[in-house]
């Protein structure tokens, strides 16, 4: 799959997700207190690449499932991703004023409402998935919701955030430490996307194992390229305050391995991700996602 085809398909999935999020905002979210709803959807509809929902839809279709069946779970995952960004930007966390090229949630709605907007999005994600699971009555839907709960949850993404905060500015910074943080903080949410799509399509154990490895390596690649971009990137490209990680003395692949070392590690993670899916038929979009991630840091 060349980069033009990849961009086209990504656009198709992204538009599917965006229009479903618009539908949710105008119908299902009607009973939410107005200011809270504004705060939730301010961040949810702020754009972004929608990489997780796109991946989920692509995996589901690749394995013979219908994208429409994965859509409620794709939107829910984007809600969870968005809540994590809102809480992460809070003054007591990373203290970021900008996100996706706009003032971050608490700069617009205040800290208290930003905390609640995050809580609201996380709860709403589960409400949305549970309704879909109840409606479909399929075991795959329940397995998808379970996978997302686990990977996004206390032993997944939130554990990664907690480790990240505790290790910030630690005297000894090791690759093991950095790896633990990002397996949970970044890779778990990408794994959630990939594996939920597979559950909805009714994937077998062997395919699930290959996709688990693929998504973990993708998570590593994603984080390394993010660190490289933070190190040398263009603020317009990133849409957030740059060089911040460095300034705060945060452990990053760039600070730990140096720029060249980080680029090498990214290349290796990409190769391992591609190898993991080499035997899955029709995995061109998944391969192109990896290639696209690798290119963005060059």
Binding interface with a copy of itself (CB under 8 A): 29, 31-33, 35-37, 40, 83-84, 87, 90, 92-93, 110-113, 115-116, 118-124, 126-127, 130-131, 133-134, 139, 142-143, 145-146, 149-150, 152-156, 158-163, 165-166, 184
> Least distance (Å) from a copy of itself to the CB of residue 270?
28
Nearer to a copy of itself, 165 or 259 (CB): 165
Maximum pairwise Cα distance, the chain: 52
Q: Least Å distance between CB 199 and a copy of itself?
A: 11
Residue 18: half-sphere exposure toward Cβ, Cα within 13 Å: 13
Q: How far is the CB of 288 from a copy of itself (least distance, A)?
A: 31
Give start and end residues of each alpha helix (H) in 183-252: 188-200, 205-232, 235-238, 244-247
Q: Indicate the residue among 39 and 270 with the shorter CB distance to a copy of itself.
A: 39
Among residues 30 and 236, whose Cβ is nearest to a copy of itself? Answer: 30
Question: CA 279 to CA 108: how far, in whole Å?
Answer: 48
Which residues are 102's β-sheet partners? 99
Distance of closest approach, residue 169 Cβ to a copy of itself, in angstroms: 13
User: How far is CA 243 from its chain centroid?
Assistant: 21
249 Cα distance to chain centroid: 24
Q: Which is nearer to a copy of itself, 1 or 93 (CB)?
A: 93
DSSP SS3 for 293 = helix
Tokens of 74: 């794709």
Distance in Å, CB of 153 to a copy of itself, minimum: 3
Q: Which residues are bridge partners to 103 per DSSP? A: 98
């Amino acid at each position: 799959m060349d980069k033009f085809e990849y961009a086209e398909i990504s656009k198709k999935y992204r538009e599917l997700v965006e229009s479903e999020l618009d539908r949710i905002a105008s119908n299902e979210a009607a009973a939410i207190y107005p200011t809270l709803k504004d705060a939730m959807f301010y961040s949810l509809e702020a754009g972004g690449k929608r990489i997780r929902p796109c991946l989920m839809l692509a995996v589901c279709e690749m394995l013979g499932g219908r994208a429409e069946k994965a859509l409620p779970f794709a939107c829910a995952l984007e809600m969870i991703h968005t809540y994590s960004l809102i809480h992460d930007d809070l003054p007591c966390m990373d203290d970021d004023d900008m996100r996706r090229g706009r003032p971050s949630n608490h700069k617009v709605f205040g800290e208290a409402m930003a905390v609640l907007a995050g809580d609201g999005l996380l709860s709403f994600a589960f409400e949305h998935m549970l309704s879909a699971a109840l409606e479909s009555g399929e075991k795959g839907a329940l397995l998808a919701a379970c996978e997302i709960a686990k990977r996004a949850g206390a032993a997944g993404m939130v554990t990664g955030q907690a480790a990240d905060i505790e290790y910030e500015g630690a005297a000894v910074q090791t690759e093991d430490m950095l790896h633990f943080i990002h397996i949970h903080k970044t890779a778990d949410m990408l794994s959630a996307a990939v594996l939920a799509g597979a559950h909805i399509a009714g994937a077998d154990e062997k395919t699930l194992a290959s996709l688990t490895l693929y998504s973990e390596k993708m998570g590593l690649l994603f984080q390394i390229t993010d660190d490289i971009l933070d190190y040398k990137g263009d603020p317009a490209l990133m849409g957030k305050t740059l060089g911040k990680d460095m300034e705060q003395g945060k452990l990053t692949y760039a600070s730990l391995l140096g720029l060249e070392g980080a680029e090498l590690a990214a290349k290796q993670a990409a190769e391992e991700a591609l190898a993991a899916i080499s035997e899955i038929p029709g995995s061109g979009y998944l391969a192109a996602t990896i290639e696209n991630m690798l290119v963005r840091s060059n």
